[in-house]
Structures are given as C-alpha cells and as structure tokens.
C-alpha cells in the first residue's frame, strides 16, 4: 500500500522540473497554495496537506489548496498498474480508541468518471501497526489488500470488509457498497467493531485521519476536488 506520509523524501531536481511543466494545465492556478513537488506539503487551519506521489512509474501531479478543507489535485499518471499517489489532507487525532467519545468526518468531493482510483480515508495508529481504509467511492480496476470478511453496516454506511497484510502493517479495508460523493462517516463505531467485536487490534492510539485520492491511473490529466471536509474528534 502507500508509503506512510510521516516519511518525506526530497524530490530530485529533474522530477521537480517535470512536475512543474505539467502544472500549466492544472485548475485553480490562483489558489492560496500550490505545489508540483513529489513530497510537497503545507499546513492550513488544522490540516496538513500532502501531494504524496509515492508509487513507482508515476507521472505528473500538482496539488492546490484554498484551505485545509477546500483543495484538489490535477494528476496525469500513466494507464499502468500499481498505485501512483495518495494526495491527502491529514488531521492529527492522537487519542486511544477507548478514550474517544466521538470521531466523525464529513466529505464532499468531485471526482472523474475515468482512470482508476479510490476516494478514501486512511486511518493510522501511532505505531503504524494498523491501517484502516474507508473507501467512499472508486472507479476503474482497483481493489483492496486481503480477503473479503463479509459485509457490515457501521457508521452510517454499509461496507464490504477486507483484511490483509501489506508486509509492513495489518490493513483493514471497508469499501462502501455504492459510490458516494458526499456524506458523513461516524468513524468511531468502525474502530470499536475492529477492536471489540472482531478482536483484530487492541486499544490503539489513533494518530492520523487522512482523506484523499489513491490514484492508480489518470492518463491525459484528471481533476480530483475536495469541495469540503471536516474531521472532528473528542
């Protein structure tokens, strides 16, 4: 799966120039902040934004933002297999599951009807032993790690649940049974179901809640826009 966004590498000058060359066709060029750097990132109103081009064989991708909750990317990744990037907004939570009274998020996105991608939450414990993915929509030939464990209705949605291992951490993937471009997810019951009902993990401290686009291909250049986003924990 994707590289942890806590790890940042410097892009080579050649890669930086190649990325910048493609940004002339990207939307919102007058945005408050923008980057075409492989690991470009910034912080805005409590969220950290990452361009996060982490996969092999990636093409061009540029990230723009007006705020931590109003942002998007223009990506032109080749029509080949393998995840190329996970541009995202990250909210730090740093609370044990058992001590939280709520963890919720609302999203509103505009995504293309082309390419191969998923729109997903990526939730990490602080030790990065566990990765919980919540796919709210997907398009093209993409799929989760692991085997199907059944379906469950939690947090206001019905999901197909997959459990697997990427060689670095356990991965629990929840794929919404129908695509959604806007909604609210009650995340805490999902975490408690994994912990208490299934016993797949203990009382982990949830570090980051990320939301973004896991892009496999977007040949010719496609736009992914987060029109609004909130992540709230207490």
pLDDT tens, residue by residue, 68-115: 999 999 999 999 999 999 999 999 999 999 999 999 999 999 999 999
Give mean pLDDT, residues 153-182: 98
Tell which residue, 123, 124, 107, has the closest CA to residue 72: 107
Q: What is the rounded average pLDDT for all residues in the chain?
A: 91
Q: How far apart, in whole angstroms, are the C-alpha atoms of residue 7 and residue 2?
A: 11
C-beta neighbour count of 161 within 10 angstroms: 21
CA gyration radius, the chain: 17
Does a structural domain hold residue 6?
A: no
Range of the domain at 46: 13-233
Q: What are phi and psi of 134, to 5 degrees?
A: -125, 105
Give mean pLDDT, residues 116-124: 98
Q: Does the pLDDT value for residue 128 go beyond 80? A: yes
- DSSP designation for 195: I
CATH (domain of 78)? 2.60.120.180
User: 46 by DSSP, 3-state: which?
Assistant: coil
Rounded to two decimals, the pTM is: 0.89
> Which residue is listed with tokens 């293309």?
112
Domains of the chain: total: 1
- Give me the pLDDT at residue 30, please: 77
Angle at 91 between CA 133 and CA 8, to 5 degrees: 85
- Give me the pLDDT at residue 38, please: 98
- Give me the pLDDT at residue 193, please: 98
Q: Which residues contact 209 (CB under 8 A, 6 or more apart)?
A: 90, 91, 93, 103, 105, 121, 123, 187, 231, 233
Banded model confidence at residue 2, pLDDT cuts 50, 70, 90? low
Q: Does the pLDDT value for residue 163 go beyond 60? A: yes
Give mean pLDDT, residues 27-43: 88
Does a structural domain hold residue 123?
A: yes
Does a structural domain hold residue 198?
A: yes
Instruction: Tokens for 164, please give them.
Output: 């697997």
Count the helices and strands in the chain (H runs, E runs).
Answer: 2, 15
Give mean pLDDT, residues 174-197: 98
Between strands 70-76 and 182-186, the pairing is unpaired
Does a structural domain hold residue 8?
A: no
Does a structural domain hold residue 1?
A: no
Q: Does the pLDDT value for residue 25 go beyond 60? A: no
C-beta neighbour count of 17 within 10 angstroms: 11
Is residue 173 within 8 A of residue 144, CB to CB? The reply is: yes
Is residue 107 within 8 A of residue 224, CB to CB? The reply is: no
> Which residue is listed with tokens 């471009």?
181
User: 25 by DSSP, 3-state: which?
Assistant: helix
């Amino acid at each position: 799966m994707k590289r942890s966004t806590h790890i940042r590498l410097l892009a080579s000058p050649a890669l930086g120039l190649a990325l910048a060359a493609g940004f002339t066709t990207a939307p919102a060029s007058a945005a408050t902040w923008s980057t075409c750097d492989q690991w470009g990132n910034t912080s805005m109103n409590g969220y950290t934004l990452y361009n996060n081009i982490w996969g092999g064989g990636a093409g061009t991708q540029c990230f723009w933002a007006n705020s931590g909750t109003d942002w998007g990317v223009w990506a032109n990744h080749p029509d080949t297999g393998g995840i190329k990037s996970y541009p995202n907004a990250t909210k730090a939570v740093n609370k044990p599951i058992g001590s939280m009274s709520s963890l919720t998020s609302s999203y509103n996105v505009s995504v293309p009807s082309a390419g191969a991608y998923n729109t997903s939450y990526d939730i990490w414990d602080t030790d990065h032993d566990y990765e919980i993915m919540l796919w709210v929509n997907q398009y093209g030939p993409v799929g989760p790690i692991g085997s199907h464990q059944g379906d469950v209705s939690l947090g206001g949605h019905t999901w197909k649940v997959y459990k697997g291992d990427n060689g670095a951490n356990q991965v629990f993937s929840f794929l919404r049974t129908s695509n959604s471009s806007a909604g609210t997810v009650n995340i805490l019951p999902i975490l408690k179901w994994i912990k208490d009902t299934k016993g797949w993990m203990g009382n982990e401290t949830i570090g980051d809640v990320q939301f973004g686009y896991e892009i496999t291909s977007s040949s010719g250049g496609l736009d992914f826009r987060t029109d609004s986003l909130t992540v709230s924990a207490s």
